Copies of this chain bind each other. A is one copy, B any other.
Amino acid sequence: MRGKKGYTYEYARPALTVDCVVFGFGGGELEVLLIERGLAPYEGWWALPGGFVRVGEDLGAAAGRELSEEAGIDAGYLEQLGAFGAPGRDPREHVVSVAYWALVRPGDYRLAAATDAVAARWHGVGALPRLAFDHGEIVGVAVERLRARVRHQPVGFNLLPEKFTLTELQGLYEAILGEGLDKRNFRKRVLALDLLTALPEERREGAHRPAQLYRFDPDKYARLERRGFHFEL
């Protein structure tokens, strides 16, 4: 109900927000995008980008909008993580947040702090600062989810440039899973999945043999997906 100075409801309602855990891959490490809050509460703390859901707006759309508003990012992959609604998580009032996690390619964005953010920056997941609200917990759940997802579905490609080498891909998997992988076995498995297309070019950089470039082929994946299948890394 629209009144003179606000919207009135018969029963009290918690506020509803979305927060995004945006993953990137840089410097051989898995990174998370954080913004520095410019407003109370938690002014000056690092937090996840996010904001209020508008009435009539889809949750996923709200997450995408906040991402683009607060950090100039267009996510290649966006998936819901879950709802976080512990009563004390926001000191002001009861705020329920629907968290999303996203994967972005380096280059599909330009960091731009805006709205109520002072700064936006990538942080390695290994050494995060203390986060505002319950965002530390949310990031933890997101990392777990990413690890589980990456083993069974080809989402990792959204963190690499379109053309990449197998060594780069392996480095990405090692960074996400936090463990070393055997080079020969990794290549065997990845190629056996038949999701990659070898490009007619190589990457030539440095004093050594050049590396074959590949790209992820969504068509091949779609074809396999259709006739029920699953893989393990």
Contact = CB atoms under 8 A, between A and B. Distances in A.
Interface stretch (A4-12, A29-37, A113-121, A162-170): A4-12
Contact of A16 (B6, B54, B58, B96): B96
Nearest to A53: B14
A59 interface: yes
B16 A13 contact: yes
Nearest to A10: B6
Max chain B C-beta neighbours (<10 A), residue from A9, A53, A55, A83:
A83
B8 A5 contact: yes
Contacts of A5: 8, 10
Interface string A13-41: 11110000000000000000000000000
Contacts of A86: 58
A52 interface: yes
Interface in A81-102: 82-83, 85-87, 93-94, 96, 98
Contacts of A54: 12
A8 B9 CA distance: 6
17 contacts: A5-B8, A6-B8, A7-B8, A7-B12, A7-B13, A8-B8, A8-B9, A12-B54, A13-B13, A13-B14, A55-B93, A55-B94, A56-B87, A57-B87, A80-B82, A82-B82, A96-B98
Interface of A: 1-3, 5-16, 52-59, 80, 82-83, 85-87, 93-94, 96, 98
